[in-house]
Amino acid sequence: MLVLSSPSGAGKTTISRRLLELEPQLALSVSATTRAKRPGETAGVDYHFVDPTEFNLMINRSEFLEYAKVFDNYYGTPKAQVAREIARGRDILFDIDWQGTQQLAHNAREDLVSVFVLPPSTRELERRLHTRAQDSAEVVAKRMAKAADEMSHWAEYDYIIVNHDIDSSVESVRAILRAERLRRQRQIGLTDFVKGLREGQ
């Protein structure tokens, strides 16, 4: 489970989309949210857009692996898709905030690799939120006001990337993914393979 978190606008969604094009063994966990759909977003692809009543029903039915209130809306990771992808042997990418990351770490620390994406500067963060041009000035102001709070969680993450340049940030995440896939405990069948080698096979 590969988690990307950042203050809003630092670039994790952009990095995630590129990664998914380049890494066929990686699947995106599609979250449910009560926030309104942005122009260009597709229901079921970017998010499952649900109303607060449906979100509450999902909580009561224990359908979330984690959920949190972020800014003024609720966001949650449905368990079912994650279980399906894991059963298919794929790695899963989560674009979630620090609260969700803490919940995943609490339940599955060994299976989690977490990356925090920082903006090159506060000014550039604000510029990115404005140039994305998908949120009102009021929403941008709210997200900027929360950025320092969110960044205070950077030290809880395994890896930190300062997102100056999108191509090199994507390559950094790919390097993390490659190295983490090579970890001894993540290589299935290794014990038998080495046993065979030692027996001369």
Ligand X SMILES: Nc1nc2c(ncn2[C@@H]2O[C@H](COP(=O)(O)O)[C@@H](O)[C@H]2O)c(=O)[nH]1
Binding mask 148-177 for ligand ATP (x = CB under 6 A): ---------------x-xx-----------
Give which of 70, 68, 32, 35 is closest to 48, Cα–Cα: 32
75 binds ligand X (CB under 6 A): yes
Residues 2-31 that bind ligand ATP (CB under 6 A): 6, 8-14
Rank residues 75 and 157 by Cβ distance to ligand X and give the closer one.
75
Minimum separation from the CB atom of position 62 to ligand ATP (A): 26
Residue 121 and residue 125: Cα distance in Å, rounded? 6
10 binds, among ligand X, ligand ATP, none (CB under 5 to 8 A by kind): ligand ATP
20 — phi, psi (to 5°)?
A: -65, -30
Work out which of 2, 19, 26, 31 binds ligand X, going by CB under 6 A: 31
Work out which of 2, 3, 8, 26 binds ligand X, going by CB under 6 A: 8
Q: Which residues pair with 69 in a beta bridge?
A: 74
Q: Judged by CB under 6 A, how many residues of this single chain contact ligand X?
A: 14
Work out which of 16, 34, 77, 172 binds ligand X, going by CB under 6 A: 77
Say if CB 6 and CB 12 are below 8 A apart: yes
Stretch that binds ligand ATP, among 24-32, 39-47, 125-133, 173-181 (CB under 6 A): 125-133
Residue 55 and residue 35: Cα distance in Å, rounded? 11
The neighbour count for residue 188, using CB atoms within 10 Å, is 9
Say if CB 93 and CB 173 are below 8 A apart: no
Buried-exposed string 40-50: b where 16+ CB fall within 10 A, e elsewhere: eeeeeebbbbb
Residues that bind ligand ATP (CB under 6 A): 6, 8-14, 128, 131-132, 163, 165-166
Binding residues: 6-13
